[in-house]
Amino acid sequence: MKGTVSLTDIYAKYHEQVKFIPIYIREAHPVDGWWFGGNLFTKKLMKTFAPKVAMDVHDPQTIEQRRQVAGTCEASLSYGVRTYVDEMDDAVNKSYAAWPTRLYLIDIDGVVVYAAGLGPYDFHPSKLEKAIENYL
Amino acid sequence: MMATKIVDKKTAATWQEEYDTHAPKVGDIAPDFSLLDANGQNPVRLSEFRQQKPVALIFGSFT
C-alpha cells in the first residue's frame, strides 16, 4: 500500500543502530479463542489485509508448543530477525500490556521514548520509524 | 496464565484495560526481562543493551 512502511523495511534501514527484539506472545486469534476463521467476513478480511496471518493455530499450552509456533511464525514472516518467546506465565506480555500486538522504543538509558497505544489499532510501524528517526 | 481468557471483544478489552494501567509510558524505565528464542536458546536481556543501543520491541503472534 502506498505510503506504508513495514517492520522489515525499518529493520533493514536501522538494524545497525537499533537492536530489534521481536517477541512472540500469546496468540491473538487462535482456533480455541477469539477465532476469526469461523466467520466468513473476518476470514476474508484477514486474507485480504493480512495474508501472512495464520487462521488455523491453536493457543499453545506448553512452552515447547509456543516455541514451535513462534518458529513457524518467524519463518513465515521472513523478517530475518531472531524471534524471542514469552514464557507461559505471559510475564513480559503483561508487563508491557502487549497483547495482541504493540511497539516500543527504549533508549540507551533504558527509558521508554516511544510507546504505541493498544494494539491492534495503534500498531503503526511508520510511527516507530518516526520515533527512531527522532531519537537518532 | 492470563487472568482473563480472551474469547471475544469484551474480554479482550478487559484484559487490555487491566494490564495497560501498569504498562510503561514514555519517560518510564522499561521493565527488564530475559527471554529465549524459538529454539529455546540465545538468551537476550533487555538491560544488556543499556549504554549500547536503543531497542525496538515488537510484540505479536501468528494469528
- What nine digits make up the cell of A77? 514472516
pLDDT tens figures, A75-133: 887 777 899 999 999 999 999 999 999 999 999 999 999 999 988 888 899 999 999 99
What is the value of pTM for the model shown? 0.89
Percentage above 90 pLDDT, chain A: 57
Q: To the nearest whole number, what is the mean pLDDT of chain B?
A: 92
Give the three-class secondary structure for B9.
helix
Which of B23, B30, B62, B60 lies closest to B48 in space, CA to CA?
B30
Chain A hits for B29, CB-CB cut-off 8 Å, are 110-112
Given an 8 Å threshold on Cβ–Cβ distance, is B61 in contact with A101? Answer: yes
Interface of B with A in 28-57 (CB under 8 A): 28-33, 35-40, 42, 44, 46-47, 49-57
- The neighbour count for residue A103, using CB atoms within 10 Å, is 24
In which residue are the cell numbers 474469547 written? B7
The answer to whether B52 and A108 are in contact (CB under 8 A) is yes
Determine if residue B33 is left, alpha or beta; phi over 0 gives left, psi from -120 to 50 gives alpha, anything else beta.
beta
Residues, chain B: 63
* d(C-alpha A9, C-alpha B27), whole Å: 27
**Among partner residues A10, A63, A101, which is closest to B59 by beta-carbon distance?**
A101
By the 10 Å C-beta count (0-12 exposed, 13-18 middle, 19+ buried), B40 is classed as: exposed
**Among partner residues B15, B38, B59, which is closest to A96 by beta-carbon distance?**
B59
Residue-level pLDDT at A75: 87
Given an 8 Å threshold on Cβ–Cβ distance, is A71 in contact with B49? Answer: no
Q: Where are the domains of chain A?
A: 7-26+60-135
DSSP 8-state symbol, B48 = G
A5/B24: higher pLDDT:
B24
Sign of CA dihedral A16, A120, A135, A86: negative
- Max mean pLDDT range (A39-48, A53-62, A83-92): A83-92
* d(C-alpha A120, C-alpha A107), whole Å: 24
Q: Is the ipTM of this complex over 0.85?
A: yes
Report DSSP letters for A6-74, one per residue: -HHHHHHHHTTTSEEEEEE-S-SS-TTSS-STTSHHHHHHHHHH-TTS-SS-PPP-SHHHHHHHHHHHH
